[in-house]
Structure 1
């Protein structure tokens, strides 16, 4: 019997930027932070590609974990993808992630720019606001907004309320990337959306078969 090694064991990592959308002609710090408390990592890093598959930046390190980073102006690219990897005992493990690049021309006062600036404040911890604090503020907004809408439109059905909450969490978590602070390191991406989706499915199932 051959037992294959699990080269994810003891591995945790963070990829930045946290948000799923970027804005053109804007510089971002693309980082891949790796930590290993089981295996000894001999090499890790990442490569950035644009929508046509061109290599537009890379960084690597031969230490047992740490931070690799590239500061990149996304320019007029419409899509940026990252291929990150780590090497353990000559075994190569990799993954990928993608960002869409939006054109914010003429949106100097748009809601997208507001959330972009808010996201940047959290990344830079301006005014003491970090990613977890931003996630808490987003959660409070969802809670208050749901209460106001329920009162104004008479929403009393658990199914309707759960669908409203799920829609808001989906928008703020997946769409704007404002709830990354609730994701444990190395956990599934968009964990708040997944958990709320499971709860909503349970409530809908109960409503249907009640």
Structure 2
């Protein structure tokens, strides 16, 4: 299966993408991971990306699209893939569509994980990290042991989370209608235990076969 997985920060998108990767034995392609790997490897595209990432700027579409094109050409994507973090805009979605047309491997669906904004805020802002072990806890759903040395990451501070959610809403404002118009958008309720969410996703994907 060829899937684009979409969802706001703290929606559980990464968790579900990893589960689908294992379930279907197809690669989970994360643009964030690709950018970091290309930068570390010092590839031409990696060098271009590094100049923007080092100053906190968004990496231009042509660089990200180039990395995705290289990755989708790999042998391990022939039976399918899960794209996580790309596309983020309708322009990137157009570029992806053109790539897949060249590869004669059209997208099966764009899967959006829906979670209420208040719950997203609760999920993110109550996360804490043990600085000694790197283990991530949640003050409500997965409380830390008494001896944990906790840190509240900058990414999980309330104002930062609000900004990240606003950015996601702004970026995907055109993306969801784009995939809906093409008949590819599938929406899944992301509230509840991760196993419950997985079952909902599996039920949706079964209909695509």
TM-score, normalising length from structure 2? Answer: 0.25
Which of the pair is proportionally richer in strand?
1
Structure 1 or 2: larger helix share?
2
Larger RCO of the pair (alpha carbons < 8 Å, separation 6+) = 2
Larger radius of gyration: 1
TM-score by length of 1: 0.25
